[in-house]
Amino acid sequence: MSAADAAAAGLDARRIDLRINGRLIVDGVDCTVAAGTFSALIGPNGAGKSTLLRVLAAVDRPEAGTVRFGPDDLFALSRRQRARLVGFVEQDSGTELSLSVREVVALGRIPHQGFFGDATAEDHTVIESALDAADVRALAERDVTTLSGGERQRVLLARALAQQPRLLVLDEPSNHLDIAAQLAVLGLLRSLASSGVTVLAALHDLNLASAYCDHVIVLRNGVVFAAGPTAEIITPRLVRAVYGVRATVLEHPQTGRPMVAFGPLA
């Protein structure tokens, strides 16, 4: 593979193992996310999605396996280099500190700054454009502890964007949000992917995954059950096999994308 191919290759994880308290949670997972695409990681509760995401976001080191992004082995890089390459948005993350929204977004500049953390003109430019990109400029002076769930999620996304990551990993970014906020966040991720960022998000809602994602990776019991283009993966057979639920897959009347209608439990 030439250097150019590698640079275009996006996220490439091979044979990832991770144990928690002796139990194998992630078992030999291979997965890829092409550069500049938006992929969903789906699967039932307890499948190991969050554990796998922490490895793919280079937060937790796996026991075995490699995680590459483009030409780089993520765990061979320094912590700061990694943090400039990969942004991670946790599920339900919060703080007790009454930081302003702009101060929270400024935290994303830490991996780009020296020990004394003096903000340069470039830092300010990046912070302002992250505020715009995540649509939180109107909240910039607000106290982050007073925001609604949807607002806070967008602020944390802006913090990750201030890292100027090439890879963005998110754990259930639409959790606990109302439908408008869910669509806003996923629309934002979609447009980030279009602008060249590689995006991987764990999602519970198969319809949201179908509507917004290029590819889907299905995790069950710590192994990849299926992976591929959304329309090929989201099928009645798969929903039945993975979730034990009967479903019909329709075509969305406006977008033409797959749409899942669930039958009652047998």
Partner 1 sequence: MSRATRSILLGVALAALLLISVTFAITIGPAHITPVDVWGSVLHHLGFGHSPLSLLRDGIVWQLRLPRVLTAAAVGAGLALSGAVMQALTRNPLADPYLLGLSSGASLGAVAVLLLGVAILLPLAAFLGAILALGLTLLLASSLGRITPSRTVLAGIAVSSLAAAVTSLVIFWTVTGDSYREILGWLLGSLAGARWPAVGIGFAAILIAGLPIILSGRILDAFAFGDTAATSLGINVPGARWTLLAATALLTGAMVSVSGSIGFVGLILPHAIRLLVGPRHRPLLPLSAIVGAIFLIWADTAARSLFDPRELPVGIVTAIIGAPVFALLLTRRRSAT
Which residues are at the interface with partner 1 (CB under 8 A)?
A: 21, 54, 57-59, 79-80, 82-84, 86-88, 90, 93-100, 103-104, 107-108, 110-111, 113, 115-117, 145, 156, 160, 163
Q: Which long-range contacts (CB under 8 A, 24 or more apart) does 223-227 make?
A: 223/27, 223/28, 223/29, 224/29, 224/30, 224/31, 225/43, 227/31
CB of 179 to partner 1, least distance (A): 26
Angle, helices 149-162 vs 121-133, to 10°: value is 140
CB of 69 to partner 1, least distance (A): 14
Which residue, 81 or 207, has its beta carbon nearer to partner 1? 81
CB of 265 to partner 1, least distance (A): 35
Sign for the pseudo-dihedral over CA of 114, 118, 122, 124: positive
Distance CA 180, CA 258 (A): 20
Which residue, 93 or 248, has its beta carbon nearer to partner 1? 93
CB of 243 to partner 1, least distance (A): 28
CB of 59 to partner 1, least distance (A): 5
Contacting residues for 76 by C-beta, under 8 A, at least 6 apart: none
Tokens of 223: 């192994």
Which residue, 159 or 215, has its beta carbon nearer to partner 1? 159
Distance CA 90, CA 240 (A): 29
Which residue, 56 or 185, has its beta carbon nearer to partner 1? 56
